[in-house]
């Protein structure tokens, strides 16, 4: 599921310029995303003069490429010694919905396929399902 943070070393014979992502140890998709989420929560908690964040309520679309367990794993790690340490994450899943570009029918994801049930056409406009936002936080 998730791998331990690591950074690869580069053999000295290579000559091109090497940089990493602004000095942070970035590993996997969800770490960067979780860091953004934590920053947003801390910003709002500080603005509210809070001592502690107890809950973070997240909304995640069905096709947003966000794995809940992975976010939780990184969150527990990077929230240490912040106002958000120990906060409960809750994930509200929003189903994906599409609008068929051929017949206009709206439809959900069916067995993982973006296929219109009315005319069997693949694809269509994504109406919802790509969301990943913070709805609210609960603070003390």
Partner 1 sequence: MKVQIVKDILSANEQIALENRRLFDGKGIFVLNVMAAPGAGKTSLIERTIGLLRARFRIGVIDGDLASTIDADRIARLGIPAVQINTGGACHLDANMIRSALPKLPPDEIDLLFIENVGNLICPTGFALGEHLKVMISSTPEGDDKPYKYPGMFSAVDVLLLNKVDLLPLLEFDVAYFRRGVEALNPDVAFFPVSCKTGEGVDEWVEWLVAARSKLWPSS
Minimum Å distance from CB 3 to partner 1? 6
Report if residue 8 touches partner 1, rule: CB under 8 A.
yes
If you search the block for the tokens 């942070």, which residue do you land on? Answer: 24
Report if residue 44 touches partner 1, rule: CB under 8 A.
yes
Tokens encoding 66: 């966000």
Minimum Å distance from CB 63 to partner 1? 7
Q: How far is CA 12 from CA 7, 15, 18, 92, 103, in A?
A: 15, 8, 11, 47, 58
Distance of CA 4 to the CA centre of its chain: 18
Local structure of 45: helix, strand or coil = helix
Report if residue 75 touches partner 1, rule: CB under 8 A.
no
Report if residue 29 touches partner 1, rule: CB under 8 A.
yes
Residues engaged in binding partner 1 (CB under 8 A): 3, 5-8, 10, 14-22, 25-29, 31-33, 36-37, 39-41, 44-45, 48, 50, 58, 63-65, 101, 113-114, 121-123, 126, 130-140
């Amino acid at each position: 599921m998730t791998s331990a943070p690591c950074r690869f070393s580069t053999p000295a014979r290579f000559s091109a310029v090497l940089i990493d992502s602004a000095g942070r140890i970035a590993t996997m998709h969800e770490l960067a995303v979780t860091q953004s989420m934590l920053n947003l929560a801390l910003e709002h908690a500080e603005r509210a003069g809070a001592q502690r964040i107890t809950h973070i309520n997240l909304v995640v679309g069905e096709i947003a490429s966000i794995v809940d367990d992975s976010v939780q794993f990184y969150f527990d790690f990077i929230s240490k010694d912040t106002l958000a340490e120990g906060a409960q994450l809750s994930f509200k899943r929003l189903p994906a919905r599409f609008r068929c570009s051929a017949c206009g029918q709206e439809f959900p994801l069916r067995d993982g396929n973006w296929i219109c049930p009315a005319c069997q056409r693949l694809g269509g406009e994504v109406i919802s399902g790509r969301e990943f936002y913070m709805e609210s936080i609960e603070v003390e």
